Structure 1
Amino acid sequence: MEKEVIIEKINDFLIDEFEVESDDILPEANLKETLELDSLDFVDLVVAIEANFGVKLVGEDFVNVVTLQNFYDLIENKLS
């Protein structure tokens, strides 16, 4: 799957499911601070990623995920 498609799917999900403003969706955006995602949101995000991309994520996967770009990279790496 191409990186652009991955980014588009993630961004659409953030807008639709978490009501994140599209202006806030920037690669350098901090998931917790800028996008205001809490621990329950991360659980929902994991479920959505499994449903949309067919990849399983575990807590350790998020150790180095701070920004949206980190998250895009994580999904891209899991798919490759």
Structure 2
Amino acid sequence: MELKEVITVTNKFLVEEFEANLADITPEANLKATLDLDSLDYIDMVVVIEDNFGFKVKPEDFQNIVTFQDFYNYVTARIQQKELV
């Protein structure tokens, strides 16, 4: 899966599941602040990621994710790792 497709799928579920405004989702925007995420929202996000992309997410993976671009890069890297196995 290419980065462009990851961005499209991700933005779609962020709008649907987290009621995000698509115009606010930009690569440099802060993920937590833009989506107004709390700890329970992160759990919901893990479930949605696993359902949409088919890999397991560890909660500590979110420690280095600050922007939407960080998030897209994380998902893309994990998909590529999965494809190599």
TM score, norm. by length of structure 1? 0.93
Partner of 1:6: 6
Partner of 2:24: 24
Q: Which has the higher helix share?
A: 2
Aligned partner letter, 2:7: I
8 Å contact 1:29–1:35 — kept in the other structure?
no
CA deviations 1:16-58 (Å, max 9, x no partner) are: 1111001101011111112212211111111011111101110
Aligned partner letter, 2:74: L
Query: In 2, distance between residues paired with 1:70 and 1:52?
Result: 18
Partner of 1:42: 42
8 Å contact 1:65–1:71 — kept in the other structure?
yes
Extract structure 1 runs of 4+ deviating beyond 6 A: none
TM score, norm. by length of structure 2? 0.88
Structure with greater Cα Rg: 2
* Superposition RMSD in Å: 0.9
Aligned residue-pair number: 80
Structure 2 unaligned segments of length 5 or more: list them. Answer: 81-85
Query: In 2, distance between residues paired with 1:16 and 1:34?
Result: 15
CA shift at 1:2, angstroms? 1.1
